[in-house]
Structure 1
């Protein structure tokens, strides 16, 4: 639909705490989003959305064409807006909750979303409304019965989203290859331009639509720690030089959270590290220190939190930690222990999160060579252990999650043999499927990330008010 065909609403009434104000919402937030040309998640993090008044937020979230991947993305955008100023926005948050289409929430999002809603504003609700919501969720869990609070009408997305798996293999003969798997065409491709400095035990993460590689050990015979940072731009198909880390480190964890890139733990030439660094606006700054020093640390972001798990010390390689920490935000950020430890201490494993459930996959265990998969629900702190249903059992591999599946590639078997196979594991049904192998065997200490590319049409329809 062309711009001339869009007619914004003339007037929208909203009720404040003391009186009724007639607010002209014409083309403010809706039009800004329509002209931005970005996805919903990107737009919901910018200043226009975060500074919008409650009435505009409510109307905006009622739209059909928000181009969000899931309904929980829409709720968590509303939650971010509310947390910016809880005291003054509580009433607006309660009102905007009516815009969330609870029937579209995935099964795994039901508990965290409802807990967050009740914790935020249960006292502001009337007794009848609390009972209605409680009855609704009980019915939802039992047999998916929809209540009058629900709007099952699906959202519409006019954008095409393409997903790619980027795998950074181990250095070989001074070179290091980045391989790309296209989930749409189900085919592999080798990135022509190699990373300028080959390395192992680096931190790898997806951030700002690019593949970021930080620190690590140089691939030459010296094996010296690095502080250099590079990012691969899939659109330009080139590597870009980033700002160096403040401290040289390898065996670190790298993860993105709240528009920031976090480099966590690792080791230098002397010992394991408990220090962290935060990348924002092209600058690395010192972050909150971990409680424990962690080399070969596994770091993942989930549900607005950053988690650091496992790790060891190069000087005490036989000692594996089974504790994990989470970064607690506030006026002063700090790390705190999670309430329970993992069942098994391990190293060279991988952490992935899908549908709000954290999976710990593979790795080396001190008491036995065979490794299990542990499932940990990062919201309710409930844990269960699964048998290893994917073969071969591996260490030092790469793992990434997409659409409820876990993808595994590369690594070594417990006998030290190189694994080239590429597999998709369904944790819900315990089934493993073999996919096409990558052109080049990734080797040991492999890292992988998912990159999403949103392809927008040349024109987008106007906001829907139905």
Structure 2
């Protein structure tokens, strides 16, 4: 442990162990010449004077120029200057820069690490910046209180790299950190930073609640009054109802001073658990974790036995796995999207009539990829199948589709508890391809009521609030046109026999064609994940049906094969959705999870 929680200031001044460490730069000329003699001044000639608000010091211009980018530029612009004034810098921090410039050694401690880093960053001394980051990283992995101290200090000083390292470490090791003895000595702001994160990795939300209660019981007289501020950061509705009734409702720490807000909290949680599951999905933000895999999710497809199966493709392990079965009846041509960390399956059709005419539905099913539970979402205003979903900002849009013989130009936007009609497109489209970038939403291609190609595209500008025809003479819309957006660029794949990839810069409205030939089969779909474009298609290999996945790297303008899966039952969906993080099911007694 680096910091004694009860006597932190005293320990900070102590020089022992990793609390204070001296670093040696082996590439420094003074060290490489006389590495066996510490702190030797080499042969530098002190020819300048540096004044700080605390006093004067002598230094070598050549030594400073060789180690500091700031002094190098300053001496280049003022070659005859021999006196420098820095009244805004503490003398001890500037002295560390001068000592390193002369000797190649620098001493870092918990008392000065942040100030040394800021001095190294201002005077552009890369080595001092590096060793400060290394020292702080050691502190992050030392104890709970040390990591909280580093995270808080990095946040105050806008040290984004260190702050992110501390946050990721705390999120991934939350359960071990809260059982560290130093956890009980964290401050209230530090505790809030620990438990408020959406990315905390916990096996169950009860762990977070128990951590807050343990922290409070360390000093109940002082800390009990903070409970109304802390408990809202615990996702209490994610706690099992049985645990809530046995432990939280009758918590012994609750007295007259906090009974009123605690009673309101209990009433809200009770109503939440007793309410219809159809209104729960939007009420609580789920916790995820950095080490959960990213995946491409798909629902339905062409094989009758797999229409209700939710499947995901783990991009890292390159493996398929099943999530579970939809609770609703079999649906064809549902639209899929990831919205607010949940998988939304919208619309679709089923066949019941003797004439075989598909019956469109307005069903909306919401799947939690972390708990593997289905919810019934708010129904669409208009039943539709073969539509497409787009997430733009904080909103989810359903675009086009078909209802019986009618092809729809209408669009809908999801609200908290209901859908509402949005601006109609200029052309009715079923099975369109939709992508959004830079505040604009594009709808390309699709089919009309005779299943003929709609050879046009249109764009919705959210600033103007209208759809307009999007036309470019360099390429034409064809059957199977698919689109996805990455970093302000629209990637459009067109063609059936010969597939081409077009790249459209939304900001500059410039269009270009990729020189790389797509590695792809038939009936392809595309989705963007982490700056890469993944294309899923079907192909035949040795007379066996295969699902082929290939990846496009926009920076290198190159395609590469990613995986092939030989199967007779694997569905092929008309739309894909990229999940940021998913939890693989390990075992369940009932694969068909009830609502």
Query: For the superposition of Structure 1 and Structure 2, which TM-score range results when normalised by the shorter chain?
Result: 0.5 to 0.7
> 1:141 aligns to what?
none
Paired position in structure 2 for 1:383: 511
- Aligned position for 1:423: 550
**1:241 is matched with which residue: 367, 373, 376?**
376
Aligned to 1:287: 422
2:196 is aligned to 36
- 5 Å-filtered alignment, 1:326-345, equals 326-329=460-463, 333-338=465-470, 340=472, 343-345=475-477
| Cα 1:429/1:340, change in 2 over 3 Å | closer
Distance 2:508 2:391 in 1: 22
Question: 438, 446, 454: which is aligned to 1:320?
Answer: 454
Q: Which runs of 5+ in 2 are unaligned?
A: 1-143, 158-186, 201-288, 584-595
What's the secondary structure of 1:421's corresponding residue? strand
- 2:313, 2:319 → 1: CA distance? 6
Match of 2:349 in 1: 217
| 1:89 matched residue in structure 2 | none
TM-score for both structures, normalised by structure 1: 0.58
Describe the shift of the 1:281–1:374 C-alpha distance in structure 2 as closer, same or farther (beyond 3 A): same
- State whether residues 370 and 393 of structure 1, in contact with CA within 8 Å, keep that contact through their aligned partners in structure 2: no
For normalisation by structure 2, the TM-score amounts to 0.47
Shift of 1:262: 0.3
Q: Distance in 2 between matches of 1:168 and 1:30?
A: 42
Q: State the match for 1:256 in structure 2.
A: 391
User: How far off is 1:204 after superposition?
Assistant: 1.1
Greater Cα shift, 375-384 or 401-410: 401-410
Query: How many angstroms apart in 1 are the aligned matches of 2:340 and 2:548?
Result: 29
Change in Cα spacing, 1:255 to 1:288, as seen in structure 2 (3 Å) is: same
Deviation at 1:442, TM superposition (A): 4.1
Bigger Rg, which one: 2
Q: Aligned equivalents of 2:148 and 2:572: distance in 1?
A: 57
Q: 1:400 aligns with which of 527, 530, 548?
A: 527
- 2: CA distance between counterparts of 1:271 and 1:261? 23
The alignment partner of 1:351 has SS state of: strand
Higher relative contact order (CA 8 A, sep 6+): 1
| Aligned residue runs from structure 1 range 27-426, under 5 A | 35-38=195-198, 159-160=290-291, 162-173=293-304, 175-176=306-307, 177-194=309-326, 196-218=328-350, 221-315=356-450, 317-329=451-463, 333-338=465-470, 340=472, 343-364=475-496, 369-386=497-514, 389-395=517-523, 397-411=524-538, 419-426=546-553
Contact 1:362–1:394 (CA<8 Å) still a contact in 2? Answer: no
What SS does structure 2 have at the residue aligned with 1:447?
A: coil
More helix by share: 2
Change (3 A) 1:373 1:225: same
Q: Which residue of 2 aligns with 1:17?
A: none
Q: Distance in 1 between matches of 2:381 and 2:398?
A: 10
